[in-house]
């Protein structure tokens, strides 16, 4: 198998409006993701996706696109691969030479090559992660609204789905945050695990005040309560022991994990495949966390087309010790999924492994066209 051409696509995804209510229309002022398509000398194609987000070491769709076009993809042209193991080893070598600013861009390239090689040689892309450890995964749900009625509606939808864990986005105002939790707990019940996500909006003093006030809700954890650059704040909140503290903002490399562990900056880390540089990168972050005695969660972007979801599903079936798995909110509502088979979870947030080779799902070309904003060829 010889890699003969790549295409980079910038997609503008449809984002749910009305606080994510599944019965309301969508707009198109949503996220922008990158899609990479690779072709071999037989005409077979593989696909990869990445979700650049401003705030992760200054990345953007534009910087990731340019890195792919100018640095990451050109050296892969003409690469000869005789088996899946060679493809995996090649991508692992390339990953080792990257700095954190390049990881999100590299994710799309790595997934595309592993998808192609898996299809060509009849193995799943997650073969690089070792043997399967579970025959299904359990995803959490998400409550993103701030208006009480929207929170109530979203919680009711999740209650009907029967999910066992829910992430609730938090704001700055303590009274409104307590209201969201109260509504969520009333509708979801006491048996559903609730994790809160302030999205780095608090400082350490606010975090301690808020978490003390939330003690009666018996939270499963708080994710990245302060900016990721505030390691001292993360240490202070973790040391208080009010609820498990999850680091997410800059968890991209083994060194990031080791720094957090050495300084007591968290109890667990949230692994995001896109930010870590793909399946290999997620695997090395997971290994570092396990070695350091930290817990592991699998995060997800708010918007994707399904390829990152497929990679997450494969990671979730093989990574040991995951205590939480986020499902992309848009996929859960079938808002942005354009892959077949669909990778959305079923009742209870339960989903089986994807059976096919490669990533196990394929973008539908006619559905990509409506989202396409730019296409660049590398050949």
Using one digit for the tens of pLDDT, what is the confidence trace for 80-89? 999 999 999 9
pLDDT of residue 59: 81
The 10s digit of each residue's pLDDT in 247-268 is 998 899 999 999 999 999 999 9
The DSSP element (H or E) to which 180 belongs, if any, is helix 174-188
The C-alpha torsion from 297 through 35 and 329 to 119, rounded to 10°, is -70
Domains of the chain: 3-122+362-378 (3.30.390.10), 129-351 (3.20.20.120)
Q: Percentage of the chain surpassing pLDDT 70?
A: 93
- Write down the pLDDT at residue 30: 60
Please give the Cα distance from 113 to 12 (Å, whole number).
23
| pTM score | 0.94
Query: Which of the residue ranges 62-66, 86-90, 290-294, 340-344 would you say has the lowest mean pLDDT?
Result: 340-344
Q: Tell me the pLDDT of the chain averaged across its residues.
A: 92
Kindly state the average pLDDT of the residues 353-359.
92
pLDDT at 15: 57
Least confident of 47-56, 124-133, 156-165, 203-212: 47-56
pLDDT at 24 over 70: no
Which DSSP state fits 76? G
The residue ranking higher by pLDDT, 30 or 2, is 2
Torsion of CA 289, 204, 273, 344, to 10 degrees: 120
Encode burial over 202-218: b for 16+ CB neighbours within 10 A, e otherwise: bebebbbebbeebeebe
pLDDT category of residue 23 using cuts at 50, 70 and 90: very low
Nearest to 48 by CA among 352, 344, 314: 314
Q: Between the CA of residue 48 and those of 15, 27, 115, 249, 305, what are the distances in Å?
A: 20, 25, 7, 23, 10
Mean pLDDT of the 34-49 span: 98
């Amino acid at each position: 198998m010889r890699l003969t051409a790549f295409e980079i696509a910038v997609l503008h995804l449809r984002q749910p409006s009305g606080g994510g209510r599944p019965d309301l229309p969508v707009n198109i002022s949503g996220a922008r993701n990158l899609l990479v398509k690779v072709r071999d000398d037989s005409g077979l194609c593989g696909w990869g996706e990445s979700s650049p987000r401003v705030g992760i070491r200054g990345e953007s769709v534009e910087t990731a696109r340019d890195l792919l076009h100018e640095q990451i993809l050109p050296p892969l042209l003409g690469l000869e691969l005789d088996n899946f193991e060679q493809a995996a080893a090649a991508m692992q070598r390339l990953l080792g030479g990257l700095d954190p600013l390049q990881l999100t861009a590299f994710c799309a390239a790595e997934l595309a090559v592993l998808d192609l090689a898996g299809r060509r040689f009849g193995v799943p892309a997650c073969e690089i992660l070792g043997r399967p450890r579970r025959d299904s995964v359990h995803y959490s749900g998400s409550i993103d609204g701030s208006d009480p009625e929207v929170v109530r509606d979203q919680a009711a939808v999740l209650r009907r789905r029967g999910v066992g864990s829910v992430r609730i986005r938090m704001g700055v105002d303590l009274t409104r945050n307590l209201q969201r939790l109260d509504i969520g707990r009333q509708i979801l019940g006491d048996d559903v695990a609730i994790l809160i996500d302030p999205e780095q909006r608090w400082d350490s003093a606010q975090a301690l005040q808020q978490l003390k006030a939330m003690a009666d809700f018996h939270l499963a954890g708080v994710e990245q309560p302060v900016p990721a650059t505030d390691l001292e704040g993360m240490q202070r909140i973790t040391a208080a022991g009010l609820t498990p503290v999850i680091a997410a903002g800059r968890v991209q490399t083994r060194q990031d994990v080791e720094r957090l562990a050495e300084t007591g900056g968290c109890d667990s880390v949230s692994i995001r495949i896109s930010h870590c540089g793909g399946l290999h990168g997620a695997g090395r972050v997971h290994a570092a966390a396990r070695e350091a005695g930290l817990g592991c969660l699998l995060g997800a972007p708010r918007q994707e087309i399904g390829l990152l979801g497929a990679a997450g599903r494969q990671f979730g079936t093989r990574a040991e010790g995951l205590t939480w798995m986020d499902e992309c909110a848009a996929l859960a509502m079938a808002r942005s999924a354009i892959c077949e088979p669909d990778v959305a979870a079923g009742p209870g947030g339960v989903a089986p492994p994807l059976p096919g080779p490669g990533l196990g799902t394929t973008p539908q070309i006619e559905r990509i066209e409506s989202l396409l904003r730019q296409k660049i060829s590398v050949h």
